[in-house]
Copies of this chain bind each other. A is one copy, B any other.
Amino acid sequence: MHVKVQEERFEFGREAEAFAAGCAGAGAVVTFTGVVRDADAGGLVAMEIEHYPGMTQKALEKITADAMARWSLADALVIHRHGRLEPGEQIMMVATAARHRVAAFEAAEFLMDYLKSRAPFWKKEILENGSASWVEAKEIDEEALTRW
């Protein structure tokens, strides 16, 4: 199990390759990567991600350990960045390895749903016109948790 909270960029391909190589007996490996998009309207200049340093690592470790146990994963990885990110930069990734594909997919979706609504990160969008606004939590992200 690997949980990293960091400001620096990470190399998605290298992380994915190392993760898969580390659990070759697993059969099924799923990864998810979140990328900073342009805002839907009015060009996004940057995304600023604030977090709660004392709590973040613990919260991610708890969520990841829950997924490991529930789906009997061979391994799991979570990387989440904070600080200032520009469009096209990768915000975070998760990876899961299991004997069968259904478990690997479900565990990755579970991790994403919990990260979205239970890990202490807050996103702020900085637009071209200089305005800045906190991203609001979505109802559907909260509802997604009821699946688990």
Show the binding face of A for B, using Cβ within 8 Å: 11-18, 20, 24-35, 37-38, 87-88, 90, 99, 101, 104-105, 108-109, 112
Bound CA span A28–B26, Å: 24
Bound CA span A32–B98, Å: 11
Bound CA span A13–B31, Å: 11
A23 to chain B: closest CB distance in Å?
8
Q: Which residue of B lies closest to A116 (CB)?
A: B101
* Contact between chains at A35 and B17 (CB < 8 Å): no
Contact of A27 among B18, B24, B34, B104 (CB under 8 A): B34
Q: Which residue of B lies closest to A109 (CB)?
A: B105
A17 to chain B: closest CB distance in Å?
3
Residues of B within 8 A of A18 (CB): 13
A140 to chain B: closest CB distance in Å?
8
* Contact between chains at B101 and A112 (CB < 8 Å): yes
* Contact between chains at A104 and B28 (CB < 8 Å): no
Q: Which residue of B lies closest to A29 (CB)?
A: B33
Bound CA span A20–B101, Å: 21
Q: A17-B11, A20-B12, A37-B25 are in contact. Are A32 and B88 (CB under 8 A)?
A: no
Contact of A31 among B30, B38, B87 (CB under 8 A): B30
* Contact between chains at B17 and A28 (CB < 8 Å): no
Of the A-B pairs whose beta carbons lie under 8 Å apart in the complex, a sample of 15, sorted by A's number, is A11-B17, A12-B16, A12-B17, A16-B31, A20-B35, A25-B88, A28-B34, A28-B35, A29-B31, A29-B33, A30-B108, A32-B104, A37-B99, A101-B109, A105-B105
